[in-house]
Amino acid sequence: MSDDISSLKMLQKKHGGWYLGMEFFIGKVGIVERVNDGGNVLVKYANHNNRKLCLNPDALKKIPEFAIGDNVKIIEDIQRVKEYQKRSGEWNDEMASILGKTAIVKEVLSDDYLCVSVPQIVLRPGDYWRLDPKCCEKVSNSDDRENSCDRDDSDSGSGLGNLLQKLLLENLGTPPLDGLVKDAARGNIQNVREFIKNQRSEIDVKCSNRTALQVASGKGHEDIVLMLLEAGADLEIQDDDGDTALHYSSYRDQPEVMEILLSKGANTKAVNDKHFSALHIAVSSESVKCVGVLLEHSAAVNIQDSNGNTPLHLAITNKNDDIVGMLINDPEIDFIIRNKPGFNALHHAALKGNDFATEMILEKHRDIVDVKIDDGFTALHVAAVKGYKDIIETLLTVGQAQIDIRGKHQMTPLHFAVRKCYMGSIELLISKEADINAEDRNGNTCLHLAVSNRKKSIRKDSEILKKVSDT
């Protein structure tokens, strides 16, 4: 049913009328049972006690039927998405990052909502974006090529779960030269041995864009991987997404195969079309063993992906303490590298609320605590804007950050905490002797900001006014 209640009431005249309770079904998805002689549409809402409504056809919008595995495009209009998401209250500012992007339907919930993963956005394993179906437009699977680091979502629940599709070769055709790739995928070691004996020069032939070494690496067939390498298979051949055999072993969490490939000289600096190294993939999919193997073989830890993120940036986002610790303790790690938004590892830890990473970075490299990004923000400003009290405390105690350091518009961290109405952060900063009389570029003190915000949140700002005034 459409969203505008006043328009709906007009439409319902002479079409069954408008009565108490109908507003509950605005935005709900139902099933058309029939159209009567008067042109009215009888709609059943199966998820709401099979309630039936007689509606004007102009009051209805056809909603595409979604199924698990469907590719959908999230609409770009932020105001529409916010409005649609009101039904469950599920909107947060991070959702702006997925607007206009292609996603994969992971689950269709009983309340009509969709759980989707967005390959470009990394989430913790098992986490998805929960969207009203009206936020999504169905697209053809053939129109959407998943990037080679599709995370379940990616971070996608697991980080790269849907990349398993790269390795589903069971349905390959069987022309003569396809046989090797198919046998390598299925683990048919005898057939692989016979192929090598009779057609060694064709060992790197591709089927569906993959070599035998790549699929065997992804499937974890160690004996076949060894056999192919000893027969001269090329370690560094890339598929159409730029992935090598080492990438395949990383996608599918195959640390033993990875050991073999690295012992034979696989290049840890190789990147695919999204500029992901095998280490990026292992970190994104939270494969602690694969990360460990790569670091033991001196994998390049500072390579940046197409968004400028190093493996450490990705690990901080995932909040996997084991992997964060492994990377931070690597002797080659560079904490200064910035991603495209301009955040180094410490800024990123503050942005993501990762206190473990914040503390570890400061213990290793305390002198970057007051480094500013291009708009003048330090990690302390970022933490204040986000309201992460624990990060603020770590930056002040472990990092000895300058508490009144000036950022954008000459504002201090306390200015931002007051403007955002974060009581816990305000109390902490004041207890640490932040200057409550500091003025921004417009001459505003924290008290000015608290007063100007008063209309937005009377109760909370009254507490802030009292806190600032009493100090």
Q: How far is CA 425 from CA 65, 108, 392, 420, 446, in A?
A: 45, 39, 7, 10, 13
Lowest mean pLDDT among 123-137, 162-176, 219-233: 162-176
The per-residue pLDDT for 104 is: 87
Local confidence band at 156 (pLDDT 50, 70, 90 cut-offs): very low
The secondary element (H helix, E strand) that includes residue 45 is strand 41-45
Local confidence band at 429 (pLDDT 50, 70, 90 cut-offs): very high
Q: 201 or 446: whose pLDDT is higher?
A: 201
DSSP 3-state assignment of 129?
A: strand
Average the pLDDT over 72-96 and give the result: 81
Kindly tell me if the per-residue pLDDT of 170 is higher than 50: no
Which range scores top for mean pLDDT: 95-99, 112-116, 401-405?
Answer: 401-405
- Per-residue pLDDT tens for 246-259? 999 999 899 999 99
| Cβ atoms 285, 159 nearer than 8 A | yes
Kindly tell me if the per-residue pLDDT of 174 is higher than 90: no
| Cβ atoms 8, 1 nearer than 8 A | yes
Local confidence band at 59 (pLDDT 50, 70, 90 cut-offs): confident
- Per-residue pLDDT tens for 280-335? 999 998 899 999 999 999 999 999 999 999 999 999 999 999 999 999 999 999 99
- pLDDT above 70 coverage of the chain, percent: 78
- Per-residue pLDDT tens for 203-223? 999 988 899 999 999 999 999
| Cβ atoms 318, 286 nearer than 8 A | yes
**What's the mean per-residue pLDDT of the chain?**
82
Q: What angle do CA 369, 373, 377 make, to 5 degrees?
A: 70
The per-residue pLDDT for 404 is: 94
The per-residue pLDDT for 304 is: 97
Which range scores top for mean pLDDT: 59-63, 138-142, 354-358, 461-465?
Answer: 354-358
Query: In sequence order, what are the residues at sequence separation of 6 or more whose Cβ sits closer than 8 angstroms to the Cβ of residue 25?
Result: 1, 45, 48, 51, 53
Local confidence band at 22 (pLDDT 50, 70, 90 cut-offs): confident
Local confidence band at 39 (pLDDT 50, 70, 90 cut-offs): low
Q: How far is CA 444 from CA 43, 438, 452, in A?
A: 57, 8, 10
Count of CB atoms within 10 A of residue 291's CB? Answer: 26
Q: 64 or 427: whose pLDDT is higher?
A: 427
Local confidence band at 179 (pLDDT 50, 70, 90 cut-offs): confident
The per-residue pLDDT for 176 is: 35
Cα–Cα distance measured from residue 40 to residue 296, given in angstroms and rounded to the nearest whole number: 69
The per-residue pLDDT for 371 is: 96
Local confidence band at 15 (pLDDT 50, 70, 90 cut-offs): low
Cα–Cα distance measured from residue 420 to residue 119, given in angstroms and rounded to the nearest whole number: 31
The per-residue pLDDT for 275 is: 94
The per-residue pLDDT for 105 is: 87
